[in-house]
A and B are shown apart, each in its own frame.
Chain A
Amino acid sequence: GAGVSQSPSNKVTEKGKDVELRCDPISGHTALYWYRQSLGQGLEFLIYFQGNSAPDKSGLPSDRFSAERTGGSVSTLTIQRTQQEDSAVYLCASSLTPGAHEQYFGPGTRLTVT
């Protein structure tokens, strides 16, 4: 079946602009996760959704970052007033049940802030 998909695959934006990153999880997966991978920081957790609610937002680096999930499916990660340090690959993952150790990752969105 279809895996996790993310769009866009690449995004170049100017500093100060807002961006929206989209994630389509595997159908039927109740848990959805956002991670960020950058050269300096490795792969870091951002936020986790169980259904449409986000019990764990502990990884969001600042209040410029927000995310929502609707219909227990698609999720959008929004970064407001982007900064150069936001440049990274943003990865989305989903799992069948919350707390499952096997998470399925999408290909990521490469964000470049100029």
Chain B
Amino acid sequence: LAKTTQPISMDSYEGQEVNITCSHNNIATNDYITWYQQFPSQGPRFIIQGYKTKVTNEVASLFIPADRKSSTLSLPRVSLSDTAVYYCLVLNNTDKLIFGTGTRLQVFP
């Protein structure tokens, strides 16, 4: 499984755009990039998944360059409720999720 590297923590203020970058240098051809969000005292929640270029949904955007060795999760205009841990995962046809340490995002008023 491809190993991922992401910042341990990030701080932001309400209304700002937050970009969290994840490195996955040994990503394989059939791997997908997936992001989960975890609020305190809750289980993780699927946010977005992509294979290449750009994916956007109602929560976030995911940017993946052509070499796919990294990806960036973009959260537009964050609010206090976006304070959470964000996990980057690289998945193929696997039955289990392998979580790293994640990025702890703290949003300030």
Contacts and interface: CB of A to CB of B under 8 A. Distances in A.
A48 B101 contact: no
A45 B22 CA distance: 21
Q: Looking at chain B's contact residues, is the secondary structure mostly helix, strand, loop, or mixed?
A: loop
Given A42-B101, A101-B34, A56 B96 contact: yes
Contacts of A33: 95-97
Interface string A84-114: 0000000101000011011111111000000
B43 A101 contact: no
Interface string B59-81: 00000000000000000000000
A107 B43 contact: yes
Interface residues of B, number: 22
A1 interface: no
Contacts of A98: 95
A45 B44 CA distance: 13
A71 interface: no
B98 interface: yes
A59 interface: yes
A46 B45 CA distance: 18
Nearest to A44: B99
Interface of A: 4, 31, 33, 35, 42-45, 48, 50, 55-56, 59, 91, 93, 98-99, 101-108
Q: Which 8 residue pairs spanning A and B have beta carbons closest together? A: A105-B43, A43-B99, A45-B96, A102-B46, A48-B95, A91-B43, A101-B91, A101-B34
